[in-house]
Amino acid sequence: MLLRGKTRFAFYGALFLLLVSCQKPVAEKTADEGLKPAPVKIYKVKKQRISEKLTYTATLEAWKRQAITPDISGKVARIYVNEGGKVKQGQLLAELDTRSIKLQLEQAEAALSMAQANFEDASRNLERMERLYKEKAVSDQQYEKVRLAFEAAKAQRDQAEAAVNLAKHALDVSIMRAPFDGVIASKNMEEGDIINPMMGGFSATSGVLTLVDYSKIKVRFDVSPADASRLARGQKVYLESSALPGQQLEGQVTVVNTSADPQTKKFRIEAVISNPDLVLKPGTFGRVILEVSTRENSLAVPQKALLENSSVMVVEGNKAVKRSVTTGLKNSDLIEIISGLNEGDLVVVEGNFGLMDGTPVEVEGEVVR
C-alpha cells in the first residue's frame, strides 16, 4: 500500500512538471500575439464653410410695451379686457367715470351759447357805430366804448369755446383705447380705483393696463469692447430658445451702443427677431449667435479631434499617426485646419485621447457633419 502511494505521488509530480514546461512565458506570449487594436471613430476631412461665432445669453422683451393711462385723474369706471386678451388698435380697453366731465361740458356749452349771443350783439353795435362814426354823428369816446365792448365780447366768446374744447378733451382722454395691436400683459388696477397720472413714479406697469406687442421680440445682451467692434447694425443674428428646441430664428442687430456701461465696462447690443406665432415669450432668456467671420471651402474638423500642442491623430492603414496642425477660425463645433491635413484624411474624433503615435486601431464608425 505504501509503495503504491509513492508511485501515485511521483506520477502527479511528473505530470505537473510536464505541463509547466509546455507553457510559454507571459512576456513571450504577449510579444507573439501583439497589442489589441484600439477602437476609434473617425471623421473624413472635407472642404466646407466655417464661421467664427459669438454666443451670448440674451433677455427677451416685447418689441412694443406701453402703459395704458388716461391723461387726466379720475376713478376707473370700467375695464373691458382681461390679462392675456388680444386686442386691436383703437379697441376700447377702459374708461374713467365721466359723469362730472359731462356736467362740466354742459355748463361750458351753455356759457358758450351766452357768450356767442353777446358777441353777435356787440358785433351789430360796432357795425352801427362805425357807420355813425364815419358820418361824424358820434364822438370818439362813444365809438371807443362800443369798440372795447366788442373786444370784450369776443374774448368771452373765445374763452367759452376753450372751456368747451377742454371739457371735450377731458371726455375723450378718459376713454382708453389700444394704441396698437397687441396682448394685455397685465391688469394693474380694478374698477373703482383712483388714478392720478400727474403724480411721479410712473412706469410701464403703473397704468390701468399694460399692453405689449411681441409679434417681434427685442433681445438685449452685453458684449466686451473687443466684440463690440466686430458688430454693426443690420448684422444677422440667430436666436435659440427652449420654446423652439432644435430651431434657430433669424433677426437683425438694431442697436450697437457706442458707450460702455460704467459699471460692467460692456456694451449693450439690441436685436429684433420675428415672432409671428407668438411662441417666444417676453421675460424669458435665449441664446444669441452672431457670425463675425466666415470662410468658404476651408478644411475643417470637429473640435474634439484637436489634442494638446495643436495635434491630431490620423488613421493610416491600421495605425494612428500623430500630426501637428495649424488652426484658424473656430466655432462651437468645428475648427479650421490651415495646414497639416489634406482633404480625405481620416481624423480620429473618438478614442483619440491617450492614443499613442503608431498604436494599432480599429475603426468602429465614421462621424458625419
Banded pLDDT at 243 (limits 50, 70, 90):
confident
Between 2.40.420.20, 3.30.300.30, 1.10.150.20, 1.10.10.10, what CATH number should domain 38-51+295-366 receive? Answer: 2.40.420.20
Of 227, 235, 218, which Cα lies nearest the Cα of 265? 227
**Structure-model confidence comparison of residues 308 and 48, the more confident one:** 48
Between 3.40.50.300, 3.10.129.10, 2.40.30.170, 3.40.50.1820, what CATH number should domain 58-62+214-294 receive? Answer: 2.40.30.170
Average pLDDT, the chain: 87
Please tell me the distance from the alpha carbon of residue 216 to that of residue 239, in angstroms, as a whole number.
12
H-type helices in 174-270, by residue range? 225-228
Please tell me the distance from the alpha carbon of residue 172 to that of residue 92, in angstroms, as a whole number.
12
Please tell me the distance from the alpha carbon of residue 325 to that of residue 348, in angstroms, as a whole number.
14
Stretch 312-322: mean pLDDT, rounded?
Answer: 94
**Domain range list for the chain:** 38-51+295-366, 58-62+214-294, 68-195
3-class SS at 118?
Answer: helix
Q: What tens digit of pLDDT does each residue of 214-225 get? A: 999 999 999 999
CATH for the stretch 68-195: 1.10.287.470
Supply the pLDDT for residue 180: 95
Rounded CA Rg of the chain? 44
Stretch 281-291: mean pLDDT, rounded?
Answer: 91
Query: Residues 15, 18, 20, 23: is their CA dihedral positive or negative?
Result: negative
What cell does 139 get? 364822438
Helix axes 140-173, 99-134, angle to 10 degrees: 160
Banded pLDDT at 199 (limits 50, 70, 90):
low
What cell does 209 get? 393696463
pTM assigned to the model:
0.60
Residues 227, 233, 235, CA angle at the centre, nearest 5°? 75
Of 13-22, 202-211, 245-254, the poorest mean pLDDT is in 13-22
96, 78 contact by CB (below 8 A)? no
Q: What tens digit of pLDDT does each residue of 12-30 get? A: 555 444 444 444 443 333 3
Supply the pLDDT for residue 203: 55
